Structure 1
Amino acid sequence: MFSAKDLVFIKERGSDLNTVKEQIKNFENGFPFLEVIQAATVGKGIIQLDGSHVDEFVHFFEHQLEKGISLLKFVPASGAASRMFKDLYAAVDQLENGASEAEVTQNEAIQTFFDQLTDFAFYADLEKTANKPIDQLSKLEILKLVLTESGLNYGNLPKGLLKFHQYNEKSRTPFEEHAVEGALYAKDKDGRVKIHFTVSPEHQEAFETHLKEVQNTYQQAFEVSYEITFSQQKPTTDTIAVDMQNEPFRNDDNSLLFRPGGHGALLDNLNDLNADLIFIKNIDNVVPDYLKGETVKYKKALAGLLLNYQKRIFSYQQVLDERHYTALDSKFYSEASSFLENVLNVKPPTNQYYSEKEELYHYLKQKFNRPIRVCGIVKNEGEPGGGPFWAKNADDSISLQIAESVQVDLSDKQQQNIVQNATHFNPVDLVCGTKNYKGESYDLLKYRDPKTGFISYKSKDGKELKAQELPGLWNGAMADWNTLFVEVPILTFNPVKTVNDLLRKEHQPD
């Protein structure tokens, strides 16, 4: 299957031959579906906080901050934002192939784009780039000014560097909005704000340049000092591609093709970071200042809830670590088991009651000694993506998981009904605790489920291929974490998937 040249190539990439062979086995055998037991709902896996509880957890978080806990904001920043401009690219193609402007604007998205062009935060930049007034340009010229290097080049830039929001005479990128958010809820007691962005190699220099342009402005405005760092998806997390017969896909020069392993590859980047609390949020889920209040409040509340629950988890970790199973009485076992099952929502394997003390001791020790995450969950309003479920794990225990639809066997009527009855959605709003009671960081790679990757179909150079994505960062990559779901207001979820999403009132000036 592999030549001597292939083996050298694999080694030079920093890849491991056994891992590559395992990936090919995954293509051959496929990934098993995740068995969802039921949708997580309010009172059955999803915590719903009233106002007093929100305030209580915010206060607890702020009190812990005074004690000196370290914070970090982790932002997966995308590659080029080309998908955000899919409709614009289609319009360019039509116009270049002879379609009239009237024909192109029959597409409602294109008509809206031109009708509200002046409402985009990047409009002022568009005017500066144009060699004559915008109203004297053809629609094709305007589209090219937005998308290509002759203008703003937005089709080739990452979302983090696009102008999203207008503030009087100034505008902000998502990068800047995350810096502002960081100052509002991720500032430590010494006034430091640590933010880590994962970026594409071709965009890191542009991010670093943007940071130099804006850092002092926000440091002075919020009286903080920023420690902003970047990393790239590691080539060692790329996965091999195969042809339709599951043989390694060959490029025209006969070399092997490796492809990025999806956002699950960022688990390696996350694993390299060191903080007591890590906030995770997507690059495009930001709002103007006048709407930030709810986001900040609930971020602090989620963090306070995690710290509150983690305090008790740490107490169990320490007892189980320091005392022999025979030295613990039945009251301890009963309380610890109840907390694990009824608060952390980890149900033991069916018909497994761990009647022997030693068995129960090892089970509890394993389940408590894991990273913890609190996931903000919003009511489902039809957005695509994963949701909160009760699911069966590799050891047959049942716990809370974020599941993507691709992970579930939707040809099974029962599984399909469970997914259709889901009431909530995962907006990627996480607070994570990645250390044990001793302050030692977990090796996060040990807590993912390798069987939760998935296979997609692509093409290259006119040839079909199969690609493999690693377990997703917030689903399979965190499958073996202790997980809590908390309902947060829908207002805290405002992603930008298409350019016209920037016209929603949540992204417009007050």
Structure 2
Amino acid sequence: MIELKQMSDLTGFIRTHRLSGEDLREIQLQGKDLREVVNNYNVLVSEKKQVKLIKPATEEEGLISIDNLLDDLAYGYEAIENKPVKFTPMSGAASRMFGFLESYYQNASDDDNEKVNTFIKGLDERQPGPHFSFVRELKDVLKRDNLNLSKLVDEKKYKTIISYVLNENGLNYRNKPKALIPFHVQNGRAILALEAQMEEALRYGNGNLFITILHEHQDQFIQAIEKIKKENNELSQVYIHISEQYNSTNTIAIDPATKEIVRNNDGKISFFPAGHGALIKNLPNSGPSILRNVDNVTSDEIRKQVIDKYHKAFSVYLSQIKTKVSTILTRLDADSISETDLRDQMFALQKQGFQLIIDNDSFSNAPFDEMKRIARIALNRPIKIVGVVKNQGEPGGGPFIIEYGDYRIISIVEKDEIPLEQKSLMEKGKYFNPVDILADPVDYKGNFFDLTEFINKSRYFIVSRRFLGKEVKRMEHPGLWNGTMDGWNSIYVVMPNETFAPVKEVNDLLRLEHQ
């Protein structure tokens, strides 16, 4: 039931923003409620609440070493009944990978020459490696038009080469998803990032790969999957679950000057994708999922080690922790646990690196009935194991101890979320978030949590983007591995840096870990 005041507020919003019956129907078609639009609007015109850092997370406070998980843990993997599936967002375009080539192609900027020279060298197989895995494909499209790559390199016709890399008359990488760019060469074949992700899914033991894509890329993905399975028979066993970001997660934008809701050229309210936090609704509900970025796929040998050694240890550790959590909750249900036993088991979990959202002093000093209530709330949450690596200057967030209501938690925080006066504190952080997460959204009774209940809604992002030639202000949901998972119980694990090999620019593919 909508209360009278809410109805009055909604009516006032409709009048103030001159919303028509067609506007209200469009909101419904998006799968949204008018109250959500009102909330989006209020966020956009309000002052953003920033994250308050307390201190960086360290191995002395909050983080544990992967070595703590490796002692015989990986060897228990086969006994785990519910092995993890793989969840990889793949809606990202490859255009940013080729940004410096685009800039050079449009304006031959001297600032980009060093990168362009490195790129051209990576195409020239007459020179010692490393080389790009798509050289053969590039040669083929050039040959079709009676062009020769080596000759173009010698004549320094770099714009022509780049044109065939970026444009539709060539490889068309400007318009492809990053997942469909060749990253490596295996057994004489160029391997797409997608194929590497499929290989990883198979290695976990169940061959289930969940991916999220843009609707306009669906045909490209289906064709690529069919081709991969035809050329690599082993991957015919991989089952790929394709989903798209739900329209209901899209948000409105406003004109920052007039505060009016942004509309398209047809006069309809414009709705925009609202960041990767929206993908929490796409997270598989079948059990634990390994979440990594599509571009973090190293060469074959390193990937085997990441899975067989580290991710399998993650899974065994999660299984052990979850068994202990389930035992405590089941005994609470049956009222068969003593005060001393409950206190001891709660503290024992935390000594293993399990980060509970709890005030230990309040818990310890509470009457037994209240202690049981606190324990139930603290334990009955989704669980995530988060891998972090030493910070070597990569852009992105890291693990910090922050305020979360009345509690202190560890969370991945981005620089855009903090006030300027805390910038120096953020710079003291020694660890970085590579997005290497084992997420378990299932409770101790086997039911899927309503994950929206565990989102720290105050950690949304406000971004400025251009739309129809104008600057507009948009809201994005809290990041998937940031505020969206703040309400989860966590284990933060320091991983070796060689497990992290992102491809932010195409030249990153020339790094040793991709050869």
1:133 aligns with 2:148: yes
**1:249 maps to what in 2?**
262
Pick the aligned partner of 2:354 from 325, 340, 344.
344
1:407 aligns with 2:414: no
**1:98 maps to what in 2?**
none
> Structure 1 residues 217, 253: closer, same or farther in 2, change over 3 A?
closer
Which secondary structure state, in structure 2, belongs to the residue aligned with residue 172 of structure 1? strand
Matches within 5 A, 1:359-370: 359-370=370-381
1:217 deviates by 4.5
Following the alignment from structure 1 to structure 2, what is the Cα–Cα distance between the partners of residues 250 and 462? 13
1:329 deviates by 2.6
**1:110 maps to what in 2?**
116
1:105 deviates by 8.1
Pick the aligned partner of 1:147 from 161, 166, 171.
166
1:226 deviates by 1.4
Following the alignment from structure 1 to structure 2, what is the Cα–Cα distance between the partners of residues 259 and 180? 33
> What CA deviation, in whole Å up to 9, does each residue of 1:15-40 have, x standing for no partner?
11101101111112233112222111
1:352 deviates by 3.9
1:254 deviates by 2.2
Pick the aligned partner of 1:200 from 211, 214, 234.
214
Pick the aligned partner of 2:58 from 26, 29, 41.
41
Following the alignment from structure 1 to structure 2, what is the Cα–Cα distance between the partners of residues 406 and 219? 45
Q: Which moved more, 1:39-48 or 1:259-268?
A: 39-48
> What CA deviation, in whole Å up to 9, does each residue of 1:450-483 have, x standing for no partner?
1111101112122221011001111111110001
**Counterpart residue type for residue 321 of structure 1:** D
1:330 aligns with 2:339: yes
Following the alignment from structure 2 to structure 1, what is the Cα–Cα distance between the partners of residues 86 and 233? 16
Give the TM-score taking structure 1 as reference length.
Answer: 0.90
Matches within 5 A, 1:68-87: 68-87=81-100
**2:511 maps to what in 1?**
504
1:292 deviates by 2.2
**1:12 maps to what in 2?**
29
1:361 deviates by 1.9
Unpaired stretches in structure 2, ≥5 consecutive residues: 1-16, 125-130
**1:265 maps to what in 2?**
278
Pick the aligned partner of 1:302 from 297, 302, 314.
314
Pick the aligned partner of 1:276 from 265, 283, 287.
287
Say if 1:378 and 1:488, in contact at 8 Å, map to a contact too. Answer: yes
**Counterpart residue type for residue 368 of structure 2:** K
1:121 deviates by 0.5
**1:392 maps to what in 2?**
403
**Counterpart residue type for residue 406 of structure 1:** D
**1:30 maps to what in 2?**
47
Which secondary structure state, in structure 2, belongs to the residue aligned with residue 472 of structure 1? coil
Aligned residues with identical type, % of pairs: 33
> Structure 1 residues 424, 299: closer, same or farther in 2, change over 3 A?
same
**Counterpart residue type for residue 120 of structure 1:** F
1:482 aligns with 2:489: yes
**1:378 maps to what in 2?**
389
Say if 2:325 and 2:379, in contact at 8 Å, map to a contact too. Answer: yes
Which secondary structure state, in structure 1, belongs to the residue aligned with residue 36 of structure 2? helix
Which secondary structure state, in structure 1, belongs to the residue aligned with residue 73 of structure 2? helix
The two structures, once aligned, show a CA RMSD in angstroms of 2.0
Matches within 5 A, 1:170-189: 170-184=189-203, 186-187=204-205
1:471 aligns with 2:482: no
Say if 2:181 and 2:193, in contact at 8 Å, map to a contact too. Answer: yes
1:286 aligns with 2:297: yes
Say if 2:292 and 2:437, in contact at 8 Å, map to a contact too. Answer: yes
> What CA deviation, in whole Å up to 9, does each residue of 1:300-347 have, x standing for no partner?
111111111111111122122332xxx643213322442465442336
Which secondary structure state, in structure 1, belongs to the residue aligned with residue 290 of structure 2? strand
Which secondary structure state, in structure 1, belongs to the residue aligned with residue 209 of structure 2? strand
Which secondary structure state, in structure 2, belongs to the residue aligned with residue 501 of structure 1? helix
> Structure 1 residues 352, 55: closer, same or farther in 2, change over 3 A?
closer
Say if 1:346 and 1:400, in contact at 8 Å, map to a contact too. Answer: no
Following the alignment from structure 1 to structure 2, what is the Cα–Cα distance between the partners of residues 437 and 493? 32
> Structure 1 residues 91, 152: closer, same or farther in 2, change over 3 A?
same
1:435 deviates by 1.1
Pick the aligned partner of 2:460 from 453, 470, 473.
453
Following the alignment from structure 1 to structure 2, what is the Cα–Cα distance between the partners of residues 242 and 201? 25
> Structure 1 residues 341, 29: closer, same or farther in 2, change over 3 A?
farther
